[in-house]
């Protein structure tokens, strides 16, 4: 922005003013940026706009969770979720329209990938949610756990995080951001070298190659063994740990044997396990295990000194919980159609 202003014979510091309006005050309309001179506002207004996702609908859960359907400039939609009191205030943000990973238990996976979000669209969700929830000048956490696979849209996701970190904007510390991934190994290797490093969550979900390939198809390419190896080598700050997410599917991966294998797999790692009892949805051919079964699984981990938590599902009544985000009809595209879309978006 500074470069653009200088090119037009304006002073660079206006960039800071504009950035503050956009991020700290939630104002995207140049006309309302009252500390810029009128001529400058008129000039900028004629040339620029700040595309901002538009709230198309909003649903409120009995537990305070709010799900937003946001419309992007091209008419596509994504979902973003506000989850209060976790104990922090948390925004769950999407990185793609749809997702190409096709995990068998996830509704977004059924959509296939429509397109990547731009850095502005990723950061824009945070702007919209912060404004809608009155948190523009208050602390909040961000989890990249909405629609899409962040490491499958690596550059845009990382650019968005840099924008959100910018000191004149939200100035969000990377400690307040968690990136969740199915475990695209080359992406993790790149992430390991990033100066701005979010917390890492790995969607593990299984303890053998065969079981994981059946549930998380990218495992075919990035094996469980290579993923675990990469995690073992991942640089972690003092006291930091990798979260391993484990969706629990009745009769599939929820037995005491699975729990014991999980302990072995993660032995010696700075890890914590987050169990996610399946959030059922139409078209998902798995069942949620009973609370007792989840409890038993958790106990086996705890007995072996692993840190384990069970994710409370939030907003299930409005289909805002993990794996329940889906928009635009959600018809799965063929591999050929997906490839065409990918090519078009590059
Ligand atoms: N693609 C990234 C970001 C999505 S995060 C990833 O896979 O990590 C969403 C989390 O919810 C992931 O751990 C995902 O595996 C989990 N999930 C997906 N469908 C679910 C469902 N139906 N019930 C519970 N958790 C689910």
Q: What is the pLDDT of residue 346?
A: 34
pLDDT band at 329 (very low <50, low <70, confident <90, very high): low
- What does the pLDDT read at residue 95? 98
pLDDT at 8 exceeding the cut of 60: yes
C-beta 145 within 6 A of ligand 1: yes
Model pLDDT, residue 344? 46
Distances from the Cα of 226 to the Cα of 107, 154, 185, 209, 220, angstroms: 27, 19, 7, 10, 11
- pLDDT value at 321 more than 90: no
291-323 burial, b at 16+ Cβ within 10 Å, e below that, comes to eebbeebbebbeeeebebebbebbbbebbbbbb
Q: Please give the number of the atom of ligand 1 that sits closest to the Cα of 202.
A: 8
Catalytic machinery residues: 79, 322
* Candidate from 105, 144, 181, 280 with most ligand 1 atoms within 8 A of CB, to mutate: 105
pLDDT greater than 60 at residue 97: yes
Percent of the chain residues past pLDDT 70, beyond the cut: 95
Six-digit token pair at 336? Answer: 């050929």
* Ligand 1 proximity of 323 Cβ (cutoff 6 Å): yes
The protein residue with its alpha carbon nearest to ligand 1, atom 1, reads 149
Average pLDDT of the chain is: 93
Report whether pLDDT(285) > 90: yes
| Contact (CB, 8 A) for 71 and 77 | yes
* 298 contact partners, CB below 8 Å, separation of at least 6: 275, 308, 310
Segment 224-251 mean pLDDT: 96
The 3-state secondary structure of 306-322 reads: CEEEECCCCCHHHCCCC
Q: What percent of the chain has pLDDT over 90?
A: 88
Q: pLDDT digits over 111-155, tens only?
A: 999 999 999 999 999 999 999 999 999 999 999 999 999 999 999
Per the rule left: phi > 0, alpha: psi between -120 and 50, beta: everything else, 119 is alpha
Cβ(265)–Cβ(253) under 8 Å?
Answer: no
Average pLDDT of 232-252? 96
In this prediction, residues 231-236 reach a mean pLDDT of: 96
Nearest CA owner, ligand 1 atom 9: 145
CB-based contact 126:163 (threshold 8 Å): no
């Amino acid at each position: 922005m500074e470069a653009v202003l200088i090119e037009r014979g304006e002073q660079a510091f206006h960039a800071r003013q504009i950035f503050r309006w956009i991020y700290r005050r939630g104002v995207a309309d140049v006309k309302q940026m009252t500390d810029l001179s009128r001529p400058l506002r008129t000039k900028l207004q004629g040339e620029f706009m700040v595309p901002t996702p538009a709230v198309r609908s909003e649903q409120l859960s009995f537990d305070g969770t709010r799900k937003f359907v946001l419309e992007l400039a091209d008419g596509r939609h994504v979902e973003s979720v506000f989850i209060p009191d976790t104990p922090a205030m948390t925004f769950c943000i999407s990185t793609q329209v749809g997702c190409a990973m096709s995990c068998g238990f996830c509704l977004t996976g059924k959509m296939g990938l429509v397109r990547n979000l731009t850095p502005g669209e990723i950061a824009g969700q945070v702007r919209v949610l912060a404004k809608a929830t009155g948190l523009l000048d208050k602390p909040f956490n961000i989890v990249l756990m909405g629609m899409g696979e962040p490491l499958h849209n690596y550059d845009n996701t990382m650019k968005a995080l840099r924008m959100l970190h910018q000191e004149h904007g939200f100035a969000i510390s990377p400690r307040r951001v968690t990136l969740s991934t199915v475990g695209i190994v080359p992406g993790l290797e790149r992430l390991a070298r990033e100066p701005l490093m979010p917390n890492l969550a790995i969607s593990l979900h299984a303890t053998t190659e065969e079981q994981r390939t059946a549930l998380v198809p990218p495992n075919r390419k990035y094996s469980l063994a290579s993923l675990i190896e990469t995690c073992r080598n991942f640089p972690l700050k003092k006291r930091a740990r990798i979260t391993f997410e484990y969706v629990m599917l009745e009769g599939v991966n929820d037995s005491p044997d699975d729990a014991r294998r999980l302990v072995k797999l993660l032995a010696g790692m700075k890890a914590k396990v987050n169990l996610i009892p399946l959030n059922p949805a139409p078209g998902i051919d798995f069942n949620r295990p009973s609370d007792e079964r989840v409890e038993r699984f958790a106990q086996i981990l705890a007995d072996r000194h692993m840190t384990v938590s069970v994710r409370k599902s939030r907003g299930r009544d409005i289909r805002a919980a993990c794996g329940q985000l889906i928009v635009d009809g959600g018809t799965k595209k063929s591999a050929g159609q997906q490839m065409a879309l990918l090519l078009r978006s590059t």
